[in-house]
Chain A
Amino acid sequence: MDTICILLLNDSVSQPVPVHEGETGVTAVKDHRNTMSDDITNKISLDRRRFLRATSASTAAGLLAGCAGDSDSEGTDGTDGTASSDSGGATDNELSVIWPGGINNINPLGWLTIPDYDAVRMMYEPLTSVDAEGKAIGHVAKEWEISDDGASYTWTIQEGITWHDGEPLTAEDVAFTFQAIKEYDWPYLGSLSSVIAEPSEITVEDEYTVTTPLTQPYAPLPLVLADLGMIIPKHIWSEYDNPAEVSNTKDPIGSGPFVFEEREPDQFLNFSVDEDYWGEIPDFGSVSVEIISSTDSQVLTMKEGSSDMLRLQPGQYVNEIESADNLSVVQGGSTYVTYIGVNTSRTPLSDETLRKAMAYAVDRETVADLVNAGYATPGYSPVPPGLEFYHNGDSNSYAHSKEQARTILNENGYEVQGDGRVTPDGEPLELVLSIQNTGNWPRIAEVLSRQLGEVGISVEVNSMESNAHTQKVSVDQDYDLTLNTWRVWFDPDPFLSPVFEEEGTLNTSQYHNEEFDQLMQQQRRATDPQERQSYLYDAQDIVTDELPWIVLYYPQLLHGMRSSAWENFNPIPRYGMQSPYGLEPGTGPMVKLDPK
């Protein structure tokens, strides 16, 4: 009786429990139940989602009541009645994910926030993807050819891809996407748009071939498109007067493995799996995204077992997730970089030797362990190791040494006077570190200030609300030192270029080095990845020598996963578990996940 009830309830979730070969449906469910009762925290919990779906259909409600009564009378296991209807939030058949913010804009090119983009990535497919090394591989484009001058790309489109409405995806759609990127203004596609040639020059060669000329050689293109090149269906988007203004929240049609089902603003977003998807499809039937903005509730929901996946903020609650029996922390490789940003236009920070002394004075290991619970690797280059192929692990390094720091300071005229030091001009050596007052920043700043103080560099911490901080540091550029973490794109160019090139749009360090700028130009023209790698290695050598940023460490991208119910975690850099794509076309961490 018990088991039958579960099946009925499962039906009310609309997807039957997958039955493994050689097993009956009943055993499959029983197996599942046994696993669940191992999970202590779940023993007495009641699956809310299913409970409600069941109760809203009055017949199912009756059955549920019947179930509970029945198992009680059996008396074998006191809590069995509720435990059997439990499965946490997600079942074999549904992956339940927590996102921190609501989704208001599912425009594949014009998204504004990370949750928006994550939603886009569930349904739309990028033209390219990345392999384990961090190099570009095909996705919607099976392969591509680069002209000898590096300023024209010819893409061969994968055959057999269909949009969720049944239309085939062809070269027309890809050409239309490139044209739209060029023609309209998109918040995050500015640099991409500036290198694509005029819309009329983008040509469809045949049904599955398209050529995209560029305004200049741009080697980063394939990797940039793995993040930003989401292909949109021409037959839908050509109907809009201005595609940039479409929020696309009603029935979005993509080509990815997940199909839009329903959305309740700021509450949830549900997807089903596209059974006709051209690539590999997951072993579960649907994904439900719950929007939970409060971190406490996020963690409680995970621990309680009603959700399967949560992106963890660096350092926050990681221990809680780690110590829970039913959960595991999954590391996605680091594409983050945490650094001290230096305003190189200010005296005395314009002096490179002072910056070097600081680089030696900070103890990266201590900071990383203290605030990131060990989930961070100390390092020196602004390109994090998650971008394996382009990360220069042998750049200039500054292993913690107070002695070294003191020697440099002494040799360069920063004399000790009283408790502190003075600059060569005789001014007291006092700096202000402007930080955000949220998360771990105050703790990191505290530790750094003490470490720098030990060698005689006095650092006062000025913490402020995050908008005020952005305004002060990034917009007004009125600061000495700051702390920040950036997440790097799949390609290092759109990351390095804005922050270190003279013309860079976010060069808040006001850094300028002609040789660096030149290397950046060269790597853009290099069609051979090896050659490009060597230019980028050299560029990293320069910035790690001159130190517009004093890089501290690379925090891991972490996901909390409900390992009591799921296995086969294959995180990729930059997205961790939150991506249906990566590594090979048609597969990705969200697709490869297996229910236990």
Chain B
Amino acid sequence: MATTSSKKAYIATRVRNYLVAFTAILGVNFAIPRVMPGDPTTRFVGPGFTEEARQQLLQEFGLKKPIWEQFLFYLTNTLTGDFGVSFARYPTPVMDLIVERLPRTLYLMSASVTISVVIGIPLGAFAAWNFGEREDLFITQSSLFFRSIPTFWLAILLAFIFGYVIPIFPISGATNSASHPSFIAYFLDLTYHTFLPVVTMSAYFLAGYTFLMRGSLLDILPENYIKIAESKGLSERQVLFGHAVPPAFPPVLTQLGFQIGRLAGGAVLVETVFSYPGMGQLMFESVLARDYPVIQATFFFLAVMVLGSMFLAEILYTIIDPRIGGGE
């Protein structure tokens, strides 16, 4: 039996574990960019770029200070939400970059997740219900196809077809104009530009949700209570959506929770292929350019989102399933 005190202890342990993880992430986040070979000035090296200029840039970037001083600076800044100035996009503040790009990525990702959940769940249920038949085979095979081809490849393929062969969709950028007469115009512009990236991401996510729902349902369909429901004379639809689908739902929810946490990271490859100025592209370019402040800020942000949503999920489990956190 779960008791209030054991539940509290459970949550306390969780909080402690997450704090440990958070601290570790803080350290790793500082270290990783710095152990990569090269530094933010290496990409400028060329005949016109003197060593003095390099040293001066390093000075300006604060990279000539002792490493512990840099770490302290990083800690205080990160914990107060000040991520400094980008090196590669000098002198743009990192926060400006994130504020500008996060909404674009959230839009791209949430549109893709929504589409894939809305289509994937009924599709998975339909496949499970027709287990072994032609429909099932078709759905499973095509899901397998979309799940296993690399997303960037699908992205390039779509860009080729709809950007070149039948050029009806843009294959780069997020908007056409810096200013829009209204929010609706902006939204339409953004939607038009995100069409191909969303289709690419949806195809990938969709396959995942379809499989998950199908697998989950296949575990449940042989259960006796389903047979009873059938023998009561309920319609197929009533049995499927009234009795079978609800208990098959938790794995899907878990997956969804996990994905929501990672939304802010965007889709690095797809954003890169479509030159979509979102968080994924920012992370990718920052790593290539050794842009320490941006790497730190974006990865920190991502880590906090993932940790936060996982923590929330664990807490939710204790509420949904009383067996969890119930002590011995």
Interface of A toward B, CB cutoff 8 Å: 41, 44-46, 48-49, 52-53, 55-57, 102, 104-105, 112, 185-188, 190-191, 245, 247, 262-268, 290-294, 296-297, 300-301, 303-306, 464-468, 470-472, 474-475, 486, 488-489, 494-495, 498-499, 505-506
Contact = CB atoms under 8 A, between A and B. Distances in A.
Contact of A301 (B46, B92, B163, B285): B163
Interface string B151-195: 000001001100110111011111111111110010011001000
Given A104-B86, A297-B172, 11 more contacts: A185-B56, A245-B91, A297-B159, A297-B163, A300-B159, A304-B163, A466-B43, A467-B37, A468-B38, A495-B47, A505-B52
B288 to A, nearest CB: 8
Between A102, A296, A466, the greatest number of chain B beta carbons within 10 A of the residue's beta carbon is seen for: A296
19 contacts: A44-B167, A52-B176, A52-B189, A53-B176, A55-B185, A105-B89, A185-B53, A187-B44, A190-B50, A190-B53, A247-B92, A264-B175, A300-B160, A470-B38, A470-B42, A471-B37, A471-B38, A474-B45, A475-B42
A56 B277 CA distance: 21
Label chain B's interface by main secondary structure.
Answer: loop
B143 interface: no
Given A294-B275, A296-B273, A56 B173 contact: no
A303 B36 CA distance: 37
Nearest to B86: A104
Contacts of A467: 36-39, 42-43, 288, 290
A495 B49 CA distance: 10
B275 A262 contact: no
Contact of B47 (A264, A475, A506): A506
B307 interface: no
Instruction: Count chain B CB atoms within 10 A of each CB in A264, A466, A488 and give the residue with the most.
Output: A264
Given A187-B44, A467-B43, A468-B38, A292 B176 contact: no
A112 B57 CA distance: 11
Contacts of A305: 167
Contact of B171 (A105, A185, A300): A300
B166 A303 contact: no
Contacts of B233: none
> Which 6 interchain pairs have the tightest Cβ spacing?
A467-B38, A468-B37, A56-B185, A104-B89, A45-B167, A190-B50
A55 B187 CA distance: 12
A301 B163 CA distance: 7
B90 A112 contact: yes
B42 A266 contact: no
A291 B173 contact: yes
Nearest to A296: B156
A464 B42 CA distance: 14
A264 B178 contact: yes
A46 B169 CA distance: 9
Contacts of B47: 486, 488-489, 494-495, 498-499, 506
B42 A293 contact: no
A558 to B, nearest CB: 20
Contacts of A44: 166-167
B274 interface: yes
A232 to B, nearest CB: 18
B100 interface: yes
B296 interface: no
Contacts of A291: 172-173, 275, 277
A300 B163 contact: yes
B42 A304 contact: no
